């Protein structure tokens, strides 16, 4: 399967996208490559991406895909940018925009950035500089203006914020610098061909065409350097969903729920630390040993400290044994609560524009102390006992559940009142 991430550059109705082997996705964003529908050995074509209003696709997500044997092409927009940056690791760049970045002819992100329709249709509302450069190339060739005037216009257009570089703004700049002939010529060319000057679209079509024509291959993992970091694992835990009887639930949220809501989770975490110390895995550099011995080895002068303050690995929830140990006390009611709380977040965002990330840290702090039944001074130690690197990490994870938790408490109070 060929997964194409596009939007304003290449509409979903383009003929090149209307083939059974192509799966069309919206502009790529952080977390999209964790989609379980992308199988090892598939192909990903990155064209457009979201970055202004949501977190952008991280480089390590692409590196991890390459390591799985996924062929990754990039073109036209954020795909071209990422391809230049990751070409040494196996990502393939395609098209003139990619080559311009690779050669150093262009550098800024605003060369490809465009404003998009906020209603989700992904219609391009503004001009990227690369397309305007292409327009000027044709204009110089047809003697509408000379190279000096073209260079001046590029600088003038570059001075307009990308999200405001509409057709009206492009025309206004032409008239302001005395290039009325160019403005009239451009409007005539666009009337005859709505895609005139659209080098990004041409590159995108080339990229999808090449991906479709490429011969199928066996899964071939690419050596991509270091990508399996603590941060990557947290992203994977958050975005990788598992199918349960209660619904589709991100495995990271399942662990978060246990850490936050199970009073006995510190004993679960300690049991997993013991297991990991005795079974470090084939790729680990450390030898197997009891947890007490490992703590003594790691910090001889502080061996009296609890193990969770010294041995602090990040769990890999893609490992079945790790997942089974850390979720050993999880119940169907726990998973149902997560689904309910996620639905509450969605309803609050849709109906009232409420975002769980905007919940105050003070409110989360008060709630967490109540949940764990501890004093403020004990927060850091208890967070570490639950496997958190910092108390702040626990507070941020709790915010995801707080809207639903409040609704549950309100329902309980209403039931008691009746």
Q: Using one digit for the tens of pLDDT, what is the confidence trace for 1-47?
A: 999 999 899 987 889 999 899 999 999 999 899 888 898 889 999 99
Count how many residues are written for the chain.
418
Residue 108 pLDDT: 87
| Distance (Å, whole) CA 381 – CA 81 | 43
pLDDT at 87 over 90: yes
Distances (CA, A) of 326 to 50, 240, 264, 307, 310: 34, 16, 11, 17, 19
Residue 224 lies inside a defined structural domain of this protein = no
Residue 52 pLDDT: 73
Neighbours of 333 (CB within 10 A): 8
Q: Are residues 254 and 374 in the same domain?
A: yes
pLDDT at 78 over 90: yes
Domain ends where: 154, 186, 213?
213
Cα dihedral 402, 405, 411, 415 in deg (nearest 10): -140
Expressed as residue numbers, the domain containing 140 is 129-197
Q: Are residues 250 and 298 in the same domain?
A: yes
2-5 and 92-94 beta bridge pairing: unpaired
Residue 115 lies inside a defined structural domain of this protein = no
Q: Are residues 28 and 167 in the same domain?
A: no
Residue 223 lies inside a defined structural domain of this protein = no
Q: Are residues 140 and 94 in the same domain?
A: no
| Distance (Å, whole) CA 276 – CA 270 | 10
Q: Are residues 26 and 143 in the same domain?
A: no
Which burial class, exposed, middle or buried, applies to 412 when counting CB atoms under 10 A from its CB (0-12, 13-18, 19+)? exposed
Interval 347-375: pLDDT, tens: 888 777 788 888 899 999 999 999 999 99
Residue 118 lies inside a defined structural domain of this protein = no
pLDDT at 84 over 90: yes
Residue 170 lies inside a defined structural domain of this protein = yes
Q: Are residues 29 and 91 in the same domain?
A: yes
Interval 151-165: pLDDT, tens: 999 999 999 998 899
Q: Are residues 238 and 303 in the same domain?
A: yes
Residue 118 pLDDT: 62
| Distance (Å, whole) CA 69 – CA 30 | 20
Give the CB-side neighbour count of residue 268, counting CA atoms within 13 A: 21
Overall domain count for the chain? 3
Domain ends where: 154, 172, 197?
197
* Most confident stretch, 198-207, 216-225, 248-257, 349-358: 198-207
Query: Where is average pLDDT lowest: 45-59, 95-109, 165-179, 280-294?
Result: 280-294
- C-beta of residue 231 within 8 angstroms of C-beta of residue 128: no
In whole numbers, what is the pLDDT of the chain averaged over residues? 88
Longest dimension (CA), the chain: 83
- C-beta of residue 82 within 8 angstroms of C-beta of residue 102: no
Helix ranges restricted to H, 87-223: 96-103, 129-141, 147-158, 167-176, 180-192, 199-213
Residue 95's pLDDT band, with cuts at 50, 70 and 90, is very high
User: What 8-state DSSP symbol labels residue 49?
Assistant: B
Domain ends where: 180, 213, 246?
213
Residue 116 lies inside a defined structural domain of this protein = no
Residue 220 lies inside a defined structural domain of this protein = no
Q: Are residues 381 and 243 in the same domain?
A: yes
Q: Are residues 234 and 372 in the same domain?
A: yes
Strand partners, 49: 28
Q: Are residues 163 and 34 in the same domain?
A: no
Residue 218 lies inside a defined structural domain of this protein = no
Residue 282 pLDDT: 66
- C-beta of residue 272 within 8 angstroms of C-beta of residue 325: yes
Q: Are residues 152 and 35 in the same domain?
A: no
Q: Are residues 169 and 238 in the same domain?
A: no
């Amino acid at each position: 399967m060929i997964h194409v991430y596009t939007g304003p550059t290449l509409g979903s109705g383009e003929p090149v996208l209307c083939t059974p082997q192509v799966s069309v996705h919206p502009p790529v964003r952080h977390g999209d490559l964790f989609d379980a529908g992308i199988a090892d050995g598939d192909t990903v074509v990155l064209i457009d991406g979201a970055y202004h209003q949501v977190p952008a696709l991280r480089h390590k997500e692409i590196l991890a895909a390459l390591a799985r044997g996924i062929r990754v092409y990039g073109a036209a927009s954020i795909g071209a940018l990422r391809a230049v940056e990751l070409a040494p690791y196996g990502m393939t760049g395609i098209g003139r925009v990619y080559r311009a970045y690779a050669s150093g002819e262009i550098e800024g992100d605003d060369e490809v950035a465009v404003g998009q329709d906020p209603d989700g249709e992904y219609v391009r509302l503004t001009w990227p500089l690369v397309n305007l450069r292409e327009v000027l190339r044709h204009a110089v060739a047809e003697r509408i203006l000379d190279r000096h005037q073209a260079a001046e216009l590029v600088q003038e257009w570059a001075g307009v914020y990308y999200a405001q570089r509409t057709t009206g703004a492009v025309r206004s700049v032409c008239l302001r610098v005395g290039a009325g002939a160019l403005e009239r010529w451009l409007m005539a060319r666009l009337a005859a061909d709505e895609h005139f000057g659209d080098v990004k679209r041409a590159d995108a079509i080339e990229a999808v065409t090449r991906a479709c024509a490429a011969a199928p291959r066996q899964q071939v993992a690419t050596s991509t350097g270091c990508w399996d970091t603590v941060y990557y694992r947290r992203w994977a835990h958050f975005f990788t969903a598992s199918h349960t009887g209660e619904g589709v639930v991100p495995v990271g949220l399942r662990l978060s729920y246990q850490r936050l809501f199970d009073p006995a989770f510190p004993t679960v975490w300690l049991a997993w630390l013991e297991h990991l110390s005795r079974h470090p895995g084939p790729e680990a550099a450390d030898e197997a040993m009891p947890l007490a011995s490992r703590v003594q080895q790691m910090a001889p002068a502080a061996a009296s400290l609890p193990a969770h303050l010294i041995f602090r690995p990040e769990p890999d929830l893609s490992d079945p044994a790790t997942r089974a140990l850390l979720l050993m006390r999880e119940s169907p009611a726990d998973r149902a609560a997560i689904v309910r709380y996620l639905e509450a977040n969605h309803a609050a965002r849709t109906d009232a524009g409420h975002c769980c990330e905007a919940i105050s840290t003070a409110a989360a702090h008060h709630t967490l102390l109540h949940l764990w039944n501890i004093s403020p001074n004990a927060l850091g130690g208890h967070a570490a006992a639950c496997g958190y690197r910092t108390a702040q990490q626990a507070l941020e994870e709790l915010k995801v559940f707080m809207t639903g938790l409040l609704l549950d408490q309100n329902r309980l109070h209403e039931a008691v009142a009746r």
